[in-house]
Amino acid sequence: GAVVSQHPSRVICKSGTSVKIECRSLDFQATTMFWYRQFPKQSLMLMATSNEGSKATYEQGVEKDKFLINHASLTLSTLTVTSAHPEDSSFYICSAHDRDRAYEQYFGPGTRLTVT
Amino acid sequence: GNSVTQMEGPVTLSEEAFLTINCTYTATGYPSLFWYVQYPGEGLQLLLKATKADDKGSNKGFEATYRKETTSFHLEKGSVQVSDSAVYFCALRTNQAGTALIFGKGTTLSVSS
């Protein structure tokens, strides 16, 4: 099956710093990638939809200046958490649509962000 | 708007017990329905799906039938194993290309031997 990777898998950063998370589709081209946030014992909350070569579409309540998304190629999307605060600590998950497989959606393994 | 509601967990069962996790949805049109599983420390994996009414998705002994009349997609397994312990998410997606999945809150299943 299709593989989506995320890097890093875990990151700890200090309050006020920025952190970049990468999401790659390893064996298919993804015109659309999604970024989700998962709180402990809760569901995945869609943060934004990222289309290759265009600006991301953010869900209501998600600060686009805080969560910068770049989808520069058909296999890479990045999420940068700027000026991170402890409340940004969470599990961030990306997923990618495989347009050649009826838009099947494949998930990355997630990135655990801890802001101290 | 579109939404998914699934039963609250945790669900605790003994090995070989019968499993049902309820899922209902609200959506305009005819969405595709999915069950995803998240094993401890791992990412989400697609367990099964159904794309139209009366379709039955099945995988690894799990089944779910797309019931349009009751807007439900309940997950069932006849005999659970310890290795089935995980968090199960029901999800829907409208059939518009490029749209994201909408998830339920997840149900934690714990199976003991």
Whether residue A103 has pLDDT greater than 70 = no
How distant is the Cα of B69 from the closest Cα of chain A, in angstroms?
A: 26
Test mutation, A10, A43, A92, chain B, max B CBs within 10 A: A43
- Residue B57 at interface with chain A, using a CB cutoff of 8 Å: no
Contact assignment for B98 to A95 by CB distance below 8 Å: no
Helices (runs of H) and strands (runs of E) counted in chain B: 0, 12
- Alpha-carbon distance of A59 to A56, in angstroms, equals 10
- Alpha-carbon distance of B31 to A37, in angstroms, equals 23
Is residue A99 helix, strand or coil? Answer: helix
- Alpha-carbon distance of B55 to B35, in angstroms, equals 14
How distant is the Cα of B62 from the closest Cα of chain A, in angstroms?
A: 19
Q: Write out pLDDT tens, residues B11-39.
A: 999 999 999 999 999 998 889 999 999 99
Confidence of residue A102 (pLDDT cuts 50, 70, 90): low
Please tell me the predicted confidence (pLDDT) of residue A16: 97
Q: Write out pLDDT tens, residues B42-81.
A: 788 899 999 999 999 999 999 999 999 999 999 999 999 9
Q: Minimal Cα distance from A42: which residue of B? A: B105
- Alpha-carbon distance of B101 to A32, in angstroms, equals 12
